[in-house]
Homo-oligomer: A and B are copies of this chain.
Amino acid sequence: MQLTHFDENGKAIMVDVTEKNDTVREATAKGRILVSKEVYDAIEAGTVGKGDVLGVATTAGIMGAKRTSELIPMCHILPITKCRVNFEMKPEECAIDCYCTVKVTGKTGVEMEALTGVSVALLTVYDMCKAIDKSMEIGEIYLCRKGGGKSGEIRNEKIDGQKARPCQN
């Protein structure tokens, strides 16, 4: 199958979307960070009073999503119309899940914006906790839902930790 981001000579290009329609497009991506018990407790304490790690990470994730086209070489500039970053605490796994939902009326989708928002938000959590724990791990970053555009509605579900967990946001 042909990679769309290269021309007939194998040179990288920003795909021409000029003729595509402006439609409402939406995407939700998900990711998680695995932390030590000590970090987990510090983050949880922060959400109820002081040292609000997830508050700073939310802001960073939204700002990061807006800068996707600066970071990802072949991404189009998209004036996104909505961005939301959420976290879910998973005490039994010492994990924090992050969801980012992005929306636009445009000629191309916002999957990369959602994935970038998740990535920057989780890197921010990492940064603020790395003095306590240097073995945290960021992972399971994937697109869980997209809507609009030519490919229409798509959902990736995970079962038993394999690719396919349902997600909503």
Contact = CB atoms under 8 A, between A and B. Distances in A.
B71 A64 contact: yes
A12 B73 contact: no
Copies assembled? 6
Interface residues on A, range: 35 or more
B140 A156 contact: no
Contact of A81 (B17, B79, B134): B17
Contacts of A132: 1, 3
A101 to B, nearest CB: 9
B81 A62 contact: no
Given A16-B103, A18-B24, A142-B136, A76 B80 contact: yes
A146 B63 CA distance: 26
Contact of A56 (B12, B46, B116): B12
B14 A124 contact: no
A161 B3 CA distance: 30
B107 A16 contact: no
